[in-house]
A and B are shown apart, each in its own frame.
Chain A
Amino acid sequence: MKEELIISGRMNPGIDPYLTLWHWPIPLYLFLGGLAAGILFFTALYTILGKEKSMPTAVKWSSFLVPGILTIGLLALFYDLKHQMYFWRLYTTIRFESPMSWGAWVLMLITPLSFLWAGSYLREAIPSWKWKFRFIETVESWVIKNRKPMAWAMIMLSVILGIYTGILLSAFNARPLWNTSILGPLFLVSGLSTGAATIMWMSRDHKERRIMSKIDLLLIGIELFLIVHLIMGFLAGPAVQIEAANLFLGGQFTVSFWVFVIILGLLFPALLEILELSGRKVPVAIPAILILFGGFIFRFIMVEAGQITRYLY
């Protein structure tokens, strides 16, 4: 038997009795960042493939959501900072070893890009729309001419953004639940899946919807595969990681993880999509909402549970 306790009374707020420093803004941001990355990935992909005509929701209409999604995500991040008036310090340096520095800079590039992209399709969505200033029209025509190179930049930035939401957590070796390199690819795939679900939900075109549904099914499959590997990796790891995995295998996050993430967030929507693809009538909103909800809960659980896992006491 071994018992360890702090007898001098360390009760630092947010640190003791266990870490509760990061609350809802962080998982919300991780979810929104992944979602934006997912949508932009498909926007860029189908632009590069030249499918503006057959995939209008993926290329044009879904991209109207992205500036809003990123703005809410950035506001959540800003809200979470404890020394807010110094946030600009992020942009006076580039630190290659820090995932958060990568994230700050990628967001700095991808957010304006998403505004430009959505803005360039505004006149297609609202034909009567008129820009107030001449220079905006100049920018607009430049963007329209350069959509292909912009799409190449966007596809790369969206992959970095999607992966970084996972690496942000996996880089913390002090939290055994996060400290696994599979978290980057897992969050990327989950982000792509939520992006595909959003496009599928928005699409009014039967063919486009079927394509996005098939892609989403594939992504759900990969995600389940990665989650199995995540848990296998933990169970084959050191004591602290076995303990971390046990949070999901009988520990306090068992029900929320298996019910909300695995069953309601992945298996059930996958089943609905299979039924729909085989010709049965399923309202598309149901699998889409479940996937989005599951994606958010997954990040929420990972952030909360990760902060409990530790090396000492």
Chain B
Amino acid sequence: MRYGMAIDTKKCVGCSDCVVACQTENDVPLGYCRDWVTETVAGTYPNVELELRTERCNHCDNPPCVRCCPTGASHVIQGGIVLVTHNECIGCGACIQSCPYDARFSHPNGYVDKCTFCAHLVEKGGQPACVAVCPTKCMFFGDLDDPDSDVSAALKNRRYKALAPEAGTKPQIYYLL
């Protein structure tokens, strides 16, 4: 089993509903966020192209944050979800430095916090809050190893990319082009 996400950049309108849903579902402290929306404008007028992406932890297959953690607080659970055990984290910040996506932050309580793919919902068969709430249904979540899952179906007939694959972390969030 390998959880992953596909995000349709042609459908995303950048409403930030996913960001608010995450903050509400996960009690993210005020002024912080575990996911965010990025806008890329490429080209010169009149030939410009706009891309909207909702971004978060890529739950990498080769997670540098897990490798560099001195206590084992950063760890991988079934399905490849990367989590932080709060009472094992010393708040040294090594994992924050190691993440090419800057997806982690230091929680006001001291430990390091990040997107969990809403593991507490996913393990009961649900979907991450950001995916469930998306008004344009541009996000697909599921098991990449299962050819019938939402995410596999979304990736089947489309071109897609991952962010900064050259950083070597094998990110597991794919952007449909």
Contacts and interface: CB of A to CB of B under 8 A. Distances in A.
B67 interface: yes
A13 B33 CA distance: 10
A173 B64 contact: yes
Contacts of A92: 71
Given A6-B36, A83-B90, A313-B38, A12 B105 contact: yes
B41 A3 contact: yes
A11 interface: yes
A236 interface: no
B102 A19 contact: yes
Given A89-B88, A173-B64, A173-B168, A100 B96 contact: no
A82 B93 contact: yes
A21 to B, nearest CB: 5
Interface string B87-99: 1111111101111
Given A100-B68, A312-B101, A174 B93 contact: no
A311 interface: yes
A10 B36 CA distance: 6
Interface string B1-36: 000000000000010100100000000000111001
A21 B107 CA distance: 12
Contact of A98 (B68, B88, B100, B102): B68
Interface string A72-109: 00000000111110110110110101111101100000
A36 B88 CA distance: 29
A90 to B, nearest CB: 6
A24 to B, nearest CB: 14
Nearest to A174: B100
Interface residues of B, number: 52
B160 interface: no
Given A93-B72, A98-B70, A5 B38 contact: yes
Given A95-B69, A98-B69, A98-B70, A22 B93 contact: yes
A158 interface: no
Given A5-B38, A171-B68, A312-B163, A98 B97 contact: no
Nearest to A91: B71
A100 B94 CA distance: 8
Contacts of B110: 82-84, 86
A86 B72 contact: no
Contact of A21 (B64, B67, B97, B109): B97
Contacts of A87: 90
Interface of A: 1-16, 19, 21-22, 80-84, 86-87, 89-90, 92-93, 95, 97-101, 103-104, 171-175, 238, 307, 310-313
25 contacts: A2-B43, A4-B38, A6-B36, A7-B38, A8-B14, A8-B33, A12-B33, A19-B96, A80-B93, A81-B92, A86-B88, A86-B111, A89-B88, A93-B71, A98-B67, A98-B70, A100-B69, A100-B70, A103-B70, A104-B70, A171-B67, A173-B167, A311-B166, A312-B101, A312-B102
Given A2-B41, A9-B36, 13 more contacts: A1-B42, A4-B38, A6-B39, A7-B37, A8-B19, A8-B33, A13-B32, A21-B96, A83-B111, A95-B71, A171-B67, A173-B100, A174-B99
